[in-house]
Amino acid sequence: MDLNGISFFSLASQRLTWLGESQRVVSENIANADTPGFRARTTSDFSEMVSGTRSAGLSVTDPQHIQGTNATGPVRTIEDPDAWTTTLDGNSVILEQQAIRASELSGSYQLAATLYRKGHEFLRLTASGSR
């Protein structure tokens, strides 16, 4: 049975992908907390990923234009507009802010994984009639 054809499982899978990518970005921010000039980054909204409004890269309006490289993956990484402050060396990573973000992402990931598992259990229960 292909669970991706069911919209609930597709949406849950996309959410897990987005949360995983967001956690990767937070990890990179933490790893670069002491790098001069590093700007904290975040991921685009989940709604942008689901709606497919993400731009696919540079527009090519003439056949002689060089095709730009498109970003890979469904999640766009952007500079964090909500960074609390910037230090004198130009770094905008605040470890406390990143720890809060990591904790929020962890809770959201656990919830999404639980919902996915419960959806699978529900399908199994309806198909077999027993647990």
* pLDDT > 90 in the chain, percent: 27
> Which pTM value belongs to this model?
0.70
Angle subtended at Cα 45 by Cα 40 and Cα 48, rounded to the nearest 5 degrees? 135
Q: What is the pLDDT of residue 70?
A: 45
Q: List the structure tokens of 58.
A: 């540079």
Residue 8 has pLDDT above 50, yes or no: yes
Q: What is the pLDDT of residue 56?
A: 47
- Confidence class for position 67, pLDDT limits 50, 70, 90: low
> Cα–Cα distances in Å, from 65 out to 19, 69, 71, 75?
35, 12, 18, 26
Of 61 and 124, the one with more pLDDT: 124
Q: Which domain range does residue 124 map to?
A: 3-128
What is the domain count for the chain? Answer: 1
CA distance 50 to 12: 11
Residue 102 has pLDDT above 90, yes or no: yes
For the segment 35-41, the average pLDDT, to the nearest whole number, is 90
End-to-end CA distance of the chain: give it in Å, rounded.
Answer: 18
Residue 47 has pLDDT above 80, yes or no: no
